[in-house]
Amino acid sequence: MRVNGTERLQAYARFIKIEHSLFSLPVLFAGTVLAAEAWPGWRVSGLVLLAGLGARTLALAVNRLLDRDLDRKNPRTAGRELATGVLSVGDAVLVSTAGLAVYVWAAFRLSDFCLMWCWVPVLFFVIYPTLKRFTALSHFGLGLTWGLAALGGWFAVRPGFDGMWPAVILALFSFFWLSGFDIIYATLDEEFDRREGIYSLPAKLGRYRALQLSALLHWAAFFCLVALYASALRGVLAAFLMITAGLLLFLEHLLVDNVDLAFFKINVLAGFIVLAMVISGVRSEF
């Protein structure tokens, strides 16, 4: 498919979906705040932002590359750039290479420790998209990948494993949170997954039971926030924001039939509420 320069730029923008970074950046920066016991300086914040954007771009491009044949078959995703041919495999490789370069450069500038361990998320970016070919527990692969953001934020400020329990609790929150709402998102493809032999919990268990499990995971996510508050945060405002985050997770399940609202809007808001909770909690304590 031939496209002009403007259309190609627009296709790149749609492909990269920079707005999806709004899911991961709050947790990433919450990790830095926990480590610094305050908002990190401009240098660290800028490098963490670049690392987060680079990693997110790499992860999405790899996902699209690996799923391009499935995307062509699925009516919901058939309009994606690789599926339609607006962008080529070479374009996707270029985008993923650029994301990888930005991510690795930012890790290098942060510390030798970050550079030494930066390969771990990259490995997860490659493994996660393949899991749905083998196991209905693939949603938990995304949760594990997302949990690395909290740890990465911590390591950006404290390049080592000492005293990192607050970051581990935040990572567990991310794991349960993301795993739960990935199950909700997968309900959109329940019939397609079942027909094509793709493994997902909605396809395996049915929509109702899968959503029950998603709700349990979000309860676990909320209890992780309670544990984080009890162990590392202080203050009435932080407690209020913790409860607000829990209510948003509950609201997500009330509005589960509107996946666009539940998956995108409410989850983005929940992420920023958690970041605000951490910021207010460390300020109250320190």
For the purposes of burial, counting CB atoms within 10 Å of the CB of 223, is it exposed (0-12), middle (13-18) or buried (19 or more)?
middle
- Please report which residue ranges of the chain form alpha helices under DSSP H: 5-16, 21-36, 42-73, 81-84, 89-110, 112-117, 119-131, 138-157, 165-186, 190-196, 201-205, 207-232, 236-254, 259, 267-285
Q: Which two tokens stand for residue 42?
A: 């401009």
Half-sphere exposure at residue 245, Cβ-oriented, CA atoms within 13 angstroms: 32
Its sign, for the CA torsion 109, 168, 126, 183, is negative
Q: Give the per-residue pLDDT at 260.
A: 74
The predicted pLDDT at position 2 comes to: 55
Whether the full predicted model's pTM is greater than 0.85, yes or no, is: yes
* pLDDT at residue 187 in the model: 92
Per-residue pLDDT of the chain (286 residues; tens, 9 = 90+): 555 556 677 777 778 777 777 778 999 999 999 999 999 999 999 999 999 999 999 999 999 999 999 999 999 888 888 888 888 899 899 999 999 999 999 999 999 999 999 999 999 999 999 999 999 999 999 999 999 999 999 999 999 999 999 999 999 999 999 999 999 999 999 999 999 999 999 999 999 999 999 999 999 999 999 999 999 999 999 999 999 999 999 998 888 887 777 667 888 899 999 999 999 999 765 4
What number does CATH give the domain 5-285? 1.10.357.140
Mapped onto helix, strand or coil, the DSSP state of residue 87 is coil
- Residue ranges per domain, the chain? 5-285
Determine the distance from the C-alpha atom of residue 92 to the mean position of all C-alpha atoms in its chain, rounded to a whole number: 20
Q: What is the pLDDT of residue 4?
A: 56
If one counts every other C-beta atom within 10 angstroms of the C-beta of residue 238, the result is 24
